[in-house]
Structure 1
């Protein structure tokens, strides 16, 4: 039996505190919190001869962990203790009050300071005696130990699930939905098309900020989802940080990451490995140069564009001084530079020679029918691919509009419970704003489709532009030349085995070249 402080009238005012870690089952008419309170009330009734009385106020924390003190009912309980309205706190079990030894000690100090006793129905303790305190601390230590064991088991279970490629929770990502019952991701086709378009957009712009600005112009936001409690989360515009997280998330290649280790996932990939590797290479390069076109003092025209064909790695620009005092510029394969010359058949190439070869390749576009035809075909294919993306996005926007309008009709046609009108008004305003944004995006899509159709690269325009290019190239400064190269060229491949050079052009760059010539 517990020795308790009494009021002047001799009554011992008892407050019952109950807690459950999750909110599962709390909607039932008689739940675990009710069961805890019923046991505590019965115990208080058994001590009626000692003057014990049960206070009517309920201190129930449903869905709150005992690992901390951030619980609303507990805070009310402590406030009432501070106010002097409670003489004894009754719980069903010690760990209902706290599972943390440190937190429990703090609570006991407050109880002692206000002359409040503590009672556990299933573990009777006298907190005024040292032996009772020792017993409480021992039991609470075991409760904390049990909690840590559960946490370790949960972590081990998550690790095992990750190794098997399973989805173990967290914030959903754009492109996927969590399957019914959890544990597995399903591709959201509309969002997946948008994710692939975002990767392609970054390959075109090669910079996070312009890409994020273009996504905002298109009205594309990150993942929007609804929590189990019915609250909407996400759906915000992309910024550099959130776009970077999307572009570097291996989940889009069908993999999962846990504790820094990547595992094969059970879900379907959205982005192919070739696109993924190209995006990661640009991101790595931009981390070194800040995402801007950086040219060193030696005027490297192909910086960030040239790759070793046999190795598939980038080639970096370097400069050395010869004995005669003249500078020798060259591009060196990163594999050869980092792992030894014997590891790469290309090794290095004279910078002036490779840059001249690329420039001649550009000039030769207009005089080589085969190369010109191939370049125009690729530009047309890219334009058609973009048109397909826009059409898919337009259809997805139409479905989104139908869904939003259906929600508006449901909200306006339903009967609202008392006190819910303000919430409904906010929800309606949010739906109307999303409808407006979606309609604006559909208009922008249609405009882009029209512009794309009018700016198709034509053979005669490109031939004329390249003829003008040949005339003005030598009059350009090295800075202007570098800008032109990066405008037109997407990638340069060099193979040291046969000294071959391959140049991949940007369709958007060719369009801009034609437009500038026409102007």
Structure 2
């Protein structure tokens, strides 16, 4: 009888159970001699799991069975062939169709009758259960490590390296991460990928940077000291929609910088990335006073940059005019003294905001102190890992909410106010020396919203510049 032998082994199995390739070959060759079978070929998949049939030598063997009248398929054990009940059914079906028997050298199976088929199916089901149960235990262990702030394992993200199973900053890669975060505030991810590739930066594998890789870095909370443990379907969601845990690793970017960037990226997702990263200075802040719609940048005749109401473009009844960017810039720069009072606001309100920030910071310190206390109790065996996770999850949620609230107050108070004051005091020199992206950043720093109108009603085809009225500024 013509026989083919199939051998599969993983490094882990070889170490734990001694299922070496040499040992399996020796046992199968001896079995063929004892049965007086002719072993015509041996197929070996080294380092492949039995979770599926996507194995090169297995596929080659099945093709031989289909085309060369093989009488017997011999394995050392059933789990060398498969650990999936459905895959086993598929294999046995093919063997039946081509009159090929199945035999294990260490187990008694007879696939020619119903009882033998039932027995082999039960064994395969147990093997599948064992594999899936192991996978669940591994997943649970990884989840617990994440909730404790430890690296769950796997390849370190760009910017980090693994030292003693924990994340440490890779000093060679850290500068590029910071550079990407800086560029992401004003440029789109495609432009960043192209820019850093042209500047000579390469990936770990020496290749060019891709837009998706840059996007993943800008949206990855790990650089701000967080860890995540998400279902695959949730892994691509924005950071604010993920469950974040406080990691023990060092941060590459400050959390304030990270969440500030997420505000910008969230706005791009809402309004469209091109509008937020284009070279039209006012495209992300400008609104039409007549209908309330946003105003988007467009290239007019002879390449002149203009703005028009997006509501009117979409068919909304609106009598707004097309605005030339040069005219708008002149109007805004000449009206800064009035605009400043609207933006900076009352000093008394700022003082109240600062008091609120102090209160929130004290509350945040108390929450963080409680979290550290829980970890100390766990390390001293006062509470179990499950109690630690249960008690700290609510504290982490409070920490996240307080951090965001503090950031929002700070954004509306001293930090941004001082930055705006410096810009306003030096606006003319800054504007003249800035490029398009820097000018756009100046406008987006000063304004969250700028509502404009024109003095006259709409008249078609006059070609004359209309006087622009700044209705409100935030």
Shorter-chain-normalised TM-score: which range?
0.5 to 0.7
Match of 2:213 among 239, 242, 262: 242
Match of 1:264 among 236, 246, 250: 246
Distance 2:207 2:109 in 1: 53
- Asked if the contact 1:250/1:256 (under 8 Å) is kept, the reply is yes
- Does the alignment pair 1:42 with 2:30? yes
Query: Paired residue for 1:399?
Result: none
What's the offset of the Cα at 1:248? 0.6
Distance 2:162 2:13 in 1: 20
Query: Paired residue for 1:120?
Result: 104
What's the offset of the Cα at 1:15? 2.3
Instruction: List gaps (5 residues or longer) in structure 1.
Output: 1-11, 225-233, 306-315, 322-326, 330-351, 365-461, 470-481, 495-519
Distance 1:196 1:251 in 2: 13
Query: Paired residue for 2:224?
Result: 253
Cα 1:216–1:484 shift into 2, 3 Å: closer
- Asked if the contact 1:206/1:282 (under 8 Å) is kept, the reply is no
Moved more, 256-265 or 93-102: 256-265
Q: Secondary structure at the match of 1:119?
A: strand
Cα 1:239–1:16 shift into 2, 3 Å: closer
Distance 1:77 1:464 in 2: 75
Distance 2:199 2:137 in 1: 45
Cα 1:221–1:129 shift into 2, 3 Å: same
Distance 2:290 2:257 in 1: 35
Match of 1:13 among 2, 27, 46: 2
Query: Paired residue for 2:54?
Result: 70
Match of 1:286 among 259, 268, 292: 268
Equivalent residues in 2 for 1:418-437, closer than 5 Å: none
Q: What's the RMSD between the two structures over aligned residues? A: 3.9
What's the offset of the Cα at 1:489? 3.7
Query: Paired residue for 1:360?
Result: 336
- Does the alignment pair 1:95 with 2:79? yes
Task: Report which of the two structures shows the higher radius of gyration computed on alpha carbons.
Answer: 1
Cα 1:464–1:164 shift into 2, 3 Å: closer
Distance 1:484 1:46 in 2: 82
Cα 1:185–1:359 shift into 2, 3 Å: farther
Equivalent residues in 2 for 1:161-172, closer than 5 Å: 161-172=145-156
- Asked if the contact 1:21/1:64 (under 8 Å) is kept, the reply is yes
Match of 1:491 among 425, 445, 450: 445
Distance 1:62 1:328 in 2: 63
Q: Secondary structure at the match of 1:189?
A: coil
Query: Paired residue for 1:176?
Result: 160
What's the offset of the Cα at 1:189? 1.0
TM-score, normalised relative to structure 1: 0.52
Q: Secondary structure at the match of 2:79?
A: helix
Q: Secondary structure at the match of 2:173?
A: helix
Match of 1:186 among 152, 158, 168: 168
What's the offset of the Cα at 1:246? 0.8
What's the offset of the Cα at 1:278? 1.8
TM-score, normalised relative to structure 2: 0.57
Distance 2:163 2:98 in 1: 52
- Asked if the contact 1:164/1:265 (under 8 Å) is kept, the reply is yes
Distance 2:3 2:437 in 1: 79
Query: Paired residue for 1:403?
Result: none
What's the offset of the Cα at 1:79? 2.4
Query: Paired residue for 2:405?
Result: none
- Does the alignment pair 1:202 with 2:156? no
Distance 1:250 1:214 in 2: 23
What's the offset of the Cα at 1:208? 3.0
Per-residue CA distance 1:77-120 (angstroms, 9 max, x = gap): 22222233521122121111111111111111121122211112
Match of 1:83 among 35, 46, 67: 67
Aligned residues: 311
What's the offset of the Cα at 1:55? 0.9
- Asked if the contact 2:281/2:443 (under 8 Å) is kept, the reply is no
What's the offset of the Cα at 1:317? 5.9
What's the offset of the Cα at 1:277? 1.8
- Asked if the contact 1:208/1:291 (under 8 Å) is kept, the reply is no
Match of 1:212 among 170, 189, 193: 193
- Does the alignment pair 1:275 with 2:257? yes
Moved more, 267-276 or 113-122: 113-122
Distance 2:153 2:216 in 1: 17
- Asked if the contact 2:156/2:167 (under 8 Å) is kept, the reply is no
Distance 1:361 1:267 in 2: 46
Cα 1:122–1:167 shift into 2, 3 Å: same
Equivalent residues in 2 for 1:496-515, closer than 5 Å: none
Q: Secondary structure at the match of 1:190?
A: coil
Distance 2:254 2:293 in 1: 39
Q: Secondary structure at the match of 2:273?
A: coil
What's the offset of the Cα at 1:129? 1.4
- Asked if the contact 1:66/1:96 (under 8 Å) is kept, the reply is yes
Distance 1:71 1:87 in 2: 22
What's the offset of the Cα at 1:268? 0.8
Distance 1:158 1:21 in 2: 22
Cα 1:285–1:328 shift into 2, 3 Å: closer
